[in-house]
Chain A
Amino acid sequence: MTYTVSVADWILKRKLIFYYLIVIDPLRQQTEINPGEQFEAVTARYMRAYIQEGTMPPPDIATAIVNMADDLLAGRQITVRSGDYIAIQNHLRKEGGLKA
């Protein structure tokens, strides 16, 4: 499954021409990625628990899961904000030794 991760405006508005490295194509604000089965399984489990049972996710990813669940409940494509994405990745790495 792919997720759309949204990068904050303030990062993209920087002019991204590195010293002697030529950039021609604009950078994308939203990136579609497939973060893997573990990411999908964990987010799906906590979203299901939150939506169906009202169980709050672990504190370090609670905001991320609730935001994703809101998208799902509203019928929107799930867009993961960058901070939420980082929180989930960090949670997975802490819990399961996931490597980026």
Chain B
Amino acid sequence: MAFEGFPLIVGWELTLACNLRCRHCASSAGLPRDRELTIEECLALCDQFPALLVQEVDFTGGEALLKSGWERIARRLRELHIRTRMVTNGVNLSGDTIALMKDAGLQTVAVSLDGLERTHDYVRGIDGMFRRVVAGLERLIAAGLQPSVITAVNGLSVSELPRMLDLLRSLGVRVWQIQHLLPFGRSLSSADLHVNEEQYFEIGRFALASAQETCGTDLEVRTADSCGYFLSDLMYESDWHGCSAGIAGVGIMSDGKVKGCLSMPDDLVEGDLRKNDLWDIWFRPGAFPYTRDWEYSRLGPNCAGCEYGEQCRGGCTSMSYAITGLTRNDPYCFHGIRKRQAEGIRTRLCREELVQIPCQATAGL
């Protein structure tokens, strides 16, 4: 049967330009890409979305606010009845910017906060960024534009999560998305930020406990789809049914290249919007094979034989491919780690070091 999905959610990297050089940045953002799409090209691209049943567009970067004319894109999408959201580093959340966000119809502004003050500023490489982000969050809330917070938990911030929860609750943040540091891009040279197995489990335990604790309250805690599933006693996201890249979502890079998800490495590019329109790229026979051509037998060695394999389909494609070079083989899996440990095998969760070494099974993990 021909593929019948749609890119209901579009992740759109408006620019790779960024005003920060964060140590952990998986995109290695900083300078814009060569030949980024012009505003006119972006507006024309918006007009392709309704036929593809796009329901939501999430602007990212780089720093999305550095895309000159981003508000024109947001307004165009609003005219097309498509929801828009933006992920920002929170550095430029002035009153004027927030007013522009509201006027352009952004429904959510997600702000990155990657630890308490010392850790956040260390990751950013500039002192004062934490306080600036917190002030920006306060301005967003005061303006009636509810922010979400995204935290890429690193090796330094794992222990800070409980205090971050208190902080975000006191600020009035409505949603906190927790994920672990992606061990690729610029973070490859920051080993101190990498998350080891024990820390990964700590993130899972915290996410589960805080999600249960905050259930029904004003602050919702959730994990990204690269984290937080696969294990019955840690898996509160039980309805996760595998990576959505190329099934129900798509990533558009600032130069018009198309991927299943923006977090994927560039060698998983599926097409170029300067050569084909999104419909042709999306429905090209053979496109997005890592999620569309599913067979249990294609699970990678980390997942082969797993009783959850049919449901999770090998986890996060980006994480799996970036670290292991294989899709359907995500090593960041609570269940998989515990299973390997029971067999006396420990997995180092770091790219280029993904090796399995004998170890004592660790009780409690």
Q: Is B42 an interface residue (CB 8 A)?
A: no
Stretch at the interface among A21-29, A43-51, A65-73: A21-29
**Assembly CA distance A89 to B268 (angstroms):** 26
Stretch at the interface among B205-213, B220-228, B355-363: B220-228
Q: Is A12 an interface residue (CB 8 A)?
A: yes
Stretch at the interface among B4-12, B119-127, B132-140, B323-331: B4-12
**Assembly CA distance A33 to B283 (angstroms):** 19
Determine the main DSSP class of A at the interface with B. loop
**Assembly CA distance A35 to B228 (angstroms):** 39
Total number of residue pairs linking A and B with CB closer than 8 Å = 124
A5, A18, A33: the one within 8 Å of B249 (CB): A18
Residues of A within 8 A of B279 (CB): 89, 93, 99-100
Cβ–Cβ contact B241 & A14, under 8 A = yes
**Assembly CA distance A5 to B6 (angstroms):** 11
Residues of A within 8 A of B226 (CB): 19
- We find that the number of chain A residues with CB closer than 8 angstroms to chain B is 32
**Assembly CA distance A17 to B278 (angstroms):** 21
Stretch at the interface among B55-63, B188-196, B299-307: B55-63
Q: Is A62 an interface residue (CB 8 A)?
A: no
Q: Is A42 an interface residue (CB 8 A)?
A: no
Residues of B within 8 A of A7 (CB): 5-6, 8, 53
Residues of B within 8 A of A34 (CB): 50
The 7 closest A-B pairs by CB, nearest first: A100-B279, A100-B51, A21-B58, A82-B4, A15-B240, A22-B148, A14-B241
25 cross-chain CB contacts under 8 A = A8-B4, A12-B248, A14-B240, A14-B244, A14-B247, A15-B237, A15-B241, A17-B222, A19-B318, A20-B110, A20-B150, A21-B58, A21-B85, A22-B85, A22-B87, A24-B148, A25-B83, A31-B55, A83-B1, A86-B2, A99-B48, A99-B279, A100-B51, A100-B52, A100-B278
